[in-house]
Amino acid sequence: MFENNESPSQGLTQLSQTSKNTVEEDFLTLTPRTTIQGLKDCKEVTTFILFGTIKHILVDDDWWYTACVCNKAVYPDSKMFFCEKCNKHVIKVFPRYRIKIRVIDSSDSTTFVLFDRDATTLFKKTCADMLDAHDKMNSSGNLPKQFDELVDRSLLFKVESRNDQNFKLEQSFRVKKICVDDDIIEKFNDSSLKSVDLLVRFTKETIECGSQSPELIQDNPTNDDANSSHKRESGKKTASLESIEEDNVPLKLLKRNIKKEKSVI
């Protein structure tokens, strides 16, 4: 018989730590970063991580929808509901969050669409419970008061670059996952600042190297008597120039990379 010296609480702690590590890797290392402007400019369908602040909740549409057990939206039909994904009429249906939020960062602003899992994480309340509380309070307006807690909150968003086709009148993006962990958000912003500092430093060094290079290739012969000496010096300088050009290959690549990184930042 095997002995197990690990208590249930230790096992839960390790599981929680493993889960956090997975989230941290996803948001800090595994998924590329961008800004809202970079997200809008992206022509390919891919996924990015970005840091943004929620400025307001859009009230144009309902903030919830009726869903099948498969989470696909259903519509009324023959006094029941029909699910296109399941291709059948269903009786059991559930309310699910679908909240349109306006998010900004240092580059631009856009509309994100939050769905049930992430909205439940933010509110710590299911959509059914939120609707029940909203009805009982007879609150004025279309949005529950608890939605105010989202305004001015800064989060990490994992977002798909493809426009959400459900909202054709404006450019909007589906949120695939959010991160509310303050430690991970701080690490994300710290590493982003370091990347910007490195870019500024490399740009400065590139400019300085470029300004010094003309001095290396100046050649001012004074008279005809120095022709032989001048030829020897020219040969040396030609060799030195070749070595300078070779040495500057990484510098040229760096300049191009800096231009690319600038366009992303």
Check residue 134 and give its pLDDT.
85
Check residue 90 and give its pLDDT.
92
Q: Is 48 left (phi over 0), alpha (psi -120 to 50) or beta?
A: beta
pTM score of the predicted model: 0.64
Check residue 118 and give its pLDDT.
96
Residue 103 CA neighbour count, 13 Å, CB half: 29
Check residue 11 and give its pLDDT.
47
Check residue 60 and give its pLDDT.
74
Check residue 253 and give its pLDDT.
43
Check residue 102 and give its pLDDT.
96
Check residue 166 and give its pLDDT.
54
Check residue 249 and give its pLDDT.
42
Check residue 78 and give its pLDDT.
83
Tell me if 131 sits within 8 A of 9, measured CB to CB: no
The strand pairing partners of 112, in sequence order, are 101, 173
Tell me if 33 sits within 8 A of 192, measured CB to CB: yes
Domains of the chain are 23-60+103-114+151-203 (2.40.50)
Check residue 63 and give its pLDDT.
93
Check residue 225 and give its pLDDT.
52
Q: Is 65 exposed, middle or buried (0-12, 13-18, 19+ CB in 10 A)?
A: buried
Buried-state track 119-142, b at ≥16 Cβ within 10 A, e below 16: bbebbebbbeebbeebeeeeeeee
7/9 Cα distance (integer angstroms): 5
* Backbone phi, psi, residue 149, to 5°: -65, -20
- How confident is the chain (265 residues) per 10-residue block, as mean pLDDT? 45 51 89 95 93 92 91 90 94 94 96 96 95 76 87 96 63 93 94 63 60 52 52 49 42 47 48
26/30 Cα distance (integer angstroms): 5
Check residue 26 and give its pLDDT.
93
